[in-house]
Structure 1
Amino acid sequence: MAGTLVALVVIACAVWLGVRAFLAQREITASEQVAKVVEAHIAAGQTSEARDSAKQLAVHVDAAQGFVSDPVWRAAGLLPFVGTNFSTVSQLAGILGEVTHGAVLPLSDAAGNISPSTIKPVQGAVDLQALSAARPAVVKADSVLQSAYSEVARLKSGFGTIPQVSGGVERFKSVLGKAAQQVSTADTVTRVLPSALGSSGPRTYLVLFQNNAELRATGGIPGAAAEVHIDNGHITLGRQTEAKGFPAFQQPVLPLADPAKGLYGPILGEYFQDVNLTPQFPLTARLASEMWKQRFGDHTDGVLSLDPVALSYLLQATGPVHLATGETLDSSNAVELLLSDAYSKYSSVQEKDDFFATAAAAVFSKVAMGSFQPRAMLDALTRAAAEHRLLAWSPNQSEQDAITAGNLSGSLPEQMPSHGVFGVYLNDATGAKMDYYLRESYKVGGVMCRADGRPNWRVEVTLTNAAPANAATSLPDYVTGGGVYGVPPGDVKTQVNVYAPPSAIYLGSLQNGEPVNVHRDMDSGYPVAQTAVVLSPGQSVTLTFQFLGGPGAQPKPDVISTPSVNNPTVSALSLSCQAVVR
C-alpha cells in the first residue's frame, strides 16, 4: 500500500510538472511574440502603444515565472541527474522577469524619447530635452540588462541537462547580449550627445569630405571641409573651403613622432590634403583642426569625416537632392557623379570645387531640417560606421570614449592577445583621381605549425587598375595627373601599408610570388610593412606579407582596410605548414 501511494505521488508530481512546463512554455512563446511588438513600438517612438504591449508582456512573463517557481518545481530542482533542468528553467524565468520589469517597462514609458526620431532635427534643431528625459529609464535598463547578462553567462549546463534547456540558455544569452549592447549604446548617446549638441554651450565642428578617387589611409583626400555650428541643438552650416585654400605650412603644425615622419614624411603635418596619410584618424583630426585654426583663427570642438559612399547611404534616408547646378543627387548616382562624372562635366578646378560645395550644402540642408526617415537614417549611419566611412574625434575624453564605443574613432585595429587583426591602408601616389578605377581584394589566413604555439600569418593584397585601355587620352589630365608627379597618364601608383598586430614578427614579402624588399617600421607599437606599386590599365598585382603571430594567438586573423570606392572583397586564405616560411 505504501509503495502504491508513493508511486501515485510520483506520478502526480510528474503530471503536475509536465502540465506546468507546458503552460510555462505557452506563456514564454506568447511573450516572445509580444516582445517583438514592444520593440517595434519603442523603435517607432509610440509611447502609449509601447506601454500597453509591455504590460501584456509582463503578464505573460509573470505567469510563466509562476508556473516554474512553485514548491513542487523547486523540489524537482534538487533531484539528481534531471534536477538541473528544473533549476535552470526557474533561474531563466526569474532573470526574464527582472529584465521585463526593470528594463522593458521603463523603456516603454520613455519610448517617445529614445526612438531614432528623437535625434531627428525639426526646423534645424534637435530636441535635447527629450534626450535628457530619456536618460533615467535608459540608465536603469542598462544596469538591469548588464546584470542579467552576467547572470545568464554564469549558468552552466550540468550533467543531465537536456538539449532543449541548454539551447534555450544559449539563445536567451544571445538575445540578451544584443539587447544589452543596444541599450548600452543608448546610455552613451543620452549621456554625451546633449553636450555634444550644444546643451552646455555652442559647439563648432570641422567636417572633412574625403574623396576616395584619390585614396588616403582613412578613405580619401580631404578635398573639401566645412564648419558646422551647433547651439543648444540648433544646427547651422558655417565656413566652407577646399583643401587648395590652405597654404603649405613650413613645418608640421604639430609635433610628429619619428615613425609617422618615417612612413609618411613631414608632409603629413604640412599639407591639409595629406593629414590622413596616416591610418590613425585621431592624429588626422588633431592636425586638421590645428591647420584650420592657423588658417582661419577658428577653434573647433571636434572633427567629423565622411566620404561619397557614406553620403550615398544617407541619401537612401533623405531621398533625392536637387542641386542648383541642375543635377539630381540620389543614392544610386552619388558616387559616380561626385567621383567620376563631375570631372568630365566641369573643366576648371574652380567649377569642380563649386559643384562639390553645392552638393555638400544641399545634403546638409536636408539633413539639418529633418527631411529624412529616422530609421533609415540610423541604418545608414550604422552601415557607414561599420565600413569606417564615418569617423569622428573629440578632444573631450568622455566624448572620445563614446566615439570609440560607437566604432567611429578610426584608430588602429583593436587587438586581443588570442586574436589578431591586420590593417591594410592605401595611399594614392599618382597625385590624381585615378583610384576611382582601382579595385582591391584581400585574403588573410594562418596556420599553426610551431611547437611554441605561434601561428604563421599571411595577408595577400591584390590590386587591379580597371581604367579603360585608352585612359591616358580618354580621361582628363585632372583625373590621370598628366604625368606631373612622374606616373604615366592612365597608370595608378599606390602606397600599401600593412599594420600587423603588435605581437607579430615580420617574416618576408612577395610580389606576384617573387621576394620583394619593403620599408619596415613601427607605428604606435604596430609593426608596419610598406611598399608601392604602379599599375597600367588592365594590370594586377598580388602582394603577400608574412608574419609570425604572438604566443597563444589563433591561427586565423582578421583584416580591416581603407574604405575605397568599391567595398573590397575579403576572403579566407588556406595555408599548409609546407607553404609557410618557418
Structure 2
Amino acid sequence: QKFWQAAPFGGSSDGVMSLDPVALQAMIGATGDVTLSDGRVLNGSNTAEFLLNGAYKELAPSAQDQYFSETAAQVVAHLFSDMNTQKLMTVAKTMLRMTEQRHLYFWSFHEEDQAVLRSAGVTGEITNDAKNPVAGVYLNEMQASKMDWYIQRKSTVKRTGDNTYHVTYSFTNTLQPGEAGSLPEYITANAKGGVAVNRVVIYTPAGGEVSNVSASNGSSFAQVQAKDHMTYMDDISLAPQDTVTIEYDVTTAAGSANLKLDQTPTIGDPAITYEY
C-alpha cells in the first residue's frame, strides 16, 4: 500500500487482487476469449502456456509487457461488464477454485473487509488451525529464469496411524536434454544446460511436527524456525529429465481432522493423492 501511494502513478487504494496466468486462463474461460493486438486469441485452455512460456519463445523482451498488459486489461474488463446472476455465480466458483489452488488472492486495507476475506480463505495466509492441520511445501525458483514451466510435481499423502502420515513429493524437469540450447536466453538465463534450482521449504502443520525428511538425490534439509511453524529447507537441482523425490513423516495434533497438503501453485492439476 505504501509503495503504491509513493509511486507517481499510484494513489489511494482499498486493497490488492493478485492473479497468476493460470487464474487468468480460468477467468478467460469463465468470461470470454481475449483478442490481442496481433489477432492472437487467448481462451480457457491456451492462455497459461502463452503467458508462461510461449511469449518468451516468440516475442522480444521489449514486446512482452505489452501482451501481458493487454491480457490483464481485457480480463478485468470482461470480469466486471454485463454482470448478471449466472455470470456472477460462474465467476465466484472459478475464483474460489483458483483460490484453493493458490492462483488468486485478495487482500483488503479495510479491517472489516479483510475479516470476511480471511474467513473465505482468499488471503493466502498459512493456517494455524491445529484441528484442521495443513502441511505446506513451498517453492522458489532460485535463478533468474523461466524454468518453472518445465517443472512437473506430484505428491501423495498416506495415513499411517491415528494422527501420523507419510508424504511423498516428486519433482521432474520435463525439458528434453537437447532442448535447452535452442531456448531463448530469457527462459534459461542462469539455468545453464536447462538445470533448474528450486528452494524447497517444508512447513509443519499447526500443533504437529515433521520428521525423517529425506531426498532421493541425497539433499540434506536444514531446520529453520519461521513464525509459528518449524520449517525444513534445501535447494534442489534438476537437470533435464531428472526426477527428485522428497519423503517425510508428519504427526498432527490428537483428534485433528485428516491432514491436507498446501503447496506453491502448479500449472495444471495440483496432482495431490490422499490415501486415508
Q: Please confirm whether the aligned pair reaches a TM-score higher than 0.5, indicating the same fold.
A: yes
Contact 2:252 2:259 in 1 (8 A): no
Mapped partners of 1:558, 1:329: distance in 2: 33
Mapped partners of 1:327, 1:513: distance in 2: 42
Mapped partners of 1:459, 1:413: distance in 2: 19
Contact 2:36 2:70 in 1 (8 A): yes
The aligned residue for residue 505 of structure 1 is 209
Contact 2:156 2:274 in 1 (8 A): yes
Q: Report the TM-score, using the length of structure 2 for normalisation.
A: 0.89
Mapped partners of 1:456, 1:369: distance in 2: 49
Contact 2:202 2:231 in 1 (8 A): yes
Within the candidate set 7, 11, 29, 1:298 is matched to 11
The answer on 1:562 being equivalent to 2:274 is no
Mapped partners of 1:505, 1:323: distance in 2: 49
Q: Report the TM-score, using the length of structure 1 for normalisation.
A: 0.44
Q: How does 1:133-172 map to 2 (within 5 A)?
A: none
Within the candidate set 230, 234, 245, 1:542 is matched to 245
Q: Which protein is richer in helix relative to its size?
A: 1
Q: For residue 473 of structure 1, what is the amino acid of its counterpart?
A: G
Contact 2:130 2:206 in 1 (8 A): no
Q: How many residues align?
A: 273
Contact 1:317 1:376 in 2 (8 A): yes
Measure how far apart 1:526 and its partner are: 1.2
Within the candidate set 46, 54, 62, 1:350 is matched to 62
The aligned residue for residue 327 of structure 1 is 40
Q: For residue 470 of structure 1, what is the amino acid of its counterpart?
A: G
The aligned residue for residue 488 of structure 1 is 192
The aligned residue for residue 154 of structure 1 is none
Q: For residue 549 of structure 1, what is the amino acid of its counterpart?
A: T
Within the candidate set 368, 388, 394, 2:108 is matched to 394
Contact 2:217 2:244 in 1 (8 A): no
Q: How does 1:421-500 map to 2 (within 5 A)?
A: 421-448=134-161, 455-481=163-189, 483=190, 487-500=191-204
Mapped partners of 1:375, 1:507: distance in 2: 43
Contact 1:421 1:557 in 2 (8 A): yes
Mapped partners of 1:536, 1:571: distance in 2: 25
Contact 2:130 2:207 in 1 (8 A): no
Mapped partners of 2:210, 2:96: distance in 1: 35
Measured against aligned partners, the alpha-carbon deviations of 1:38-64 in whole angstroms (never above 9, x if no partner) come to xxxxxxxxxxxxxxxxxxxxxxxxxxx
Measure how far apart 1:414 and its partner are: 4.7
Greater relative contact order (Cα 8 A, min sep 6): structure 1 or 2?
Answer: 2
Mapped partners of 2:88, 2:253: distance in 1: 44
Mapped partners of 2:127, 2:91: distance in 1: 26
Q: For residue 306 of structure 1, what is the amino acid of its counterpart?
A: L
The answer on 1:380 being equivalent to 2:88 is no
Mapped partners of 2:270, 2:214: distance in 1: 21
Measure how far apart 1:295 and its partner are: 3.5
Q: Secondary structure at the match of 2:192?
A: coil
Larger CA deviation: 438-447 vs 370-379: 370-379
Measure how far apart 1:465 and its partner are: 0.4
Measure how far apart 1:441 and its partner are: 0.7
The answer on 1:532 being equivalent to 2:235 is yes
Identity %: 25
Contact 1:318 1:371 in 2 (8 A): no
Mapped partners of 1:420, 1:379: distance in 2: 24
Unpaired runs of 5+ in structure 2? none
Mapped partners of 2:154, 2:106: distance in 1: 26
Q: Secondary structure at the match of 2:154?
A: strand
Contact 1:403 1:409 in 2 (8 A): yes
Contact 1:445 1:572 in 2 (8 A): yes
Q: Which structure: larger Rg?
A: 1
The answer on 1:410 being equivalent to 2:124 is yes
Measure how far apart 1:459 and its partner are: 2.1
The aligned residue for residue 75 of structure 2 is 363
Mapped partners of 1:542, 1:405: distance in 2: 34
Contact 1:388 1:410 in 2 (8 A): yes
Measured against aligned partners, the alpha-carbon deviations of 1:278-320 in whole angstroms (never above 9, x if no partner) come to xxxxxxxxxxx33333333633221111111111111122221
Q: Secondary structure at the match of 1:370?
A: coil
Q: Which protein is richer in strand relative to its size?
A: 2
Larger CA deviation: 528-537 vs 516-525: 516-525
Q: Secondary structure at the match of 2:249?
A: strand
Mapped partners of 1:525, 1:499: distance in 2: 10
The aligned residue for residue 27 of structure 1 is none
Mapped partners of 1:374, 1:457: distance in 2: 39
Mapped partners of 1:470, 1:307: distance in 2: 29
Mapped partners of 1:444, 1:493: distance in 2: 24
Mapped partners of 2:139, 2:269: distance in 1: 13
Please report the RMSD computed on the Cα atoms of aligned residues, expressed in angstroms.
Answer: 2.3
